[in-house]
Amino acid sequence: MFAGIDDDVAMRKMRLLTLTSLAANAEDRSLPYSRIAAGLHIPAEEVELWVIDVIRAGLVEGKLSQLSQMFLIHRVAYRNFGKNEWIEVGQRLESWKESLRGILEVISTARRQVENQTEKEKTAAERLLQQSGDGVLGEA
């Protein structure tokens, strides 16, 4: 133990940061329990406790799949934010932008359909009024 540093506290923080790094580098946004255990140098039985701790610390968001023995990652707080992370942010923003364009197009199409339908109904109602008015005037 160094002066003023508690070994247990330091080890806990290193493991949380290590688990955060493992999650950030997970290619398919999932980590097998075995990889977590190996990376943290812990028994497999402790994996879920460490994952819960890293989630509580706000470093990673995700859920445990006990059935498949996987940690499914939703979001990771990056330890370093460099060029690669900016590239990933840019790609996600482009993806969201494309999704929003698609949504706007669907909304615009639906709006045009409603406006066309409303115009057709208005024209039909005016025609009916005209016809009924002609009939009333013709009777008089």
The yes-or-no verdict on residue 134 having pLDDT over 80 is no
Residue 95 lies in a domain: yes
For residue range 27-55, list pLDDT tens digits in order.
899 999 999 999 999 999 999 999 999 99
Identify the pLDDT of residue 37: 96
Is residue 72 located within the same domain as residue 109? no
Q: Which two tokens stand for residue 115?
A: 């406006």
3-class secondary-structure state, position 125: helix
Identify the pLDDT of residue 88: 80
Residue 53 lies in a domain: yes
Identify the pLDDT of residue 5: 76
3-class secondary-structure state, position 31: strand
Q: What are phi and psi of 135, to 5 degrees?
A: -70, -40
- pTM, 2 dp: 0.55
Identify the pLDDT of residue 137: 53
The yes-or-no verdict on residue 111 having pLDDT over 90 is yes
The yes-or-no verdict on residue 2 having pLDDT over 80 is no
Is residue 85 located within the same domain as residue 72? no
Q: Return d(Cα 86, Cα 92) in angstroms, integer.
A: 10
pLDDT band at 136 (very low <50, low <70, confident <90, very high): low
Pick from 63, 84, 83, 81: nearest CA to 73? 63
The residue range of the domain holding 14 is: 7-76
Is residue 127 located within the same domain as residue 104? yes
Identify the pLDDT of residue 130: 87
Whichever domain contains 11, its CATH number is 1.10.10.10
Residue type (1 letter), 10: A
For residue range 53-108, list pLDDT tens digits in order.
999 999 999 999 999 999 999 998 866 667 887 788 788 889 989 999 999 999 99
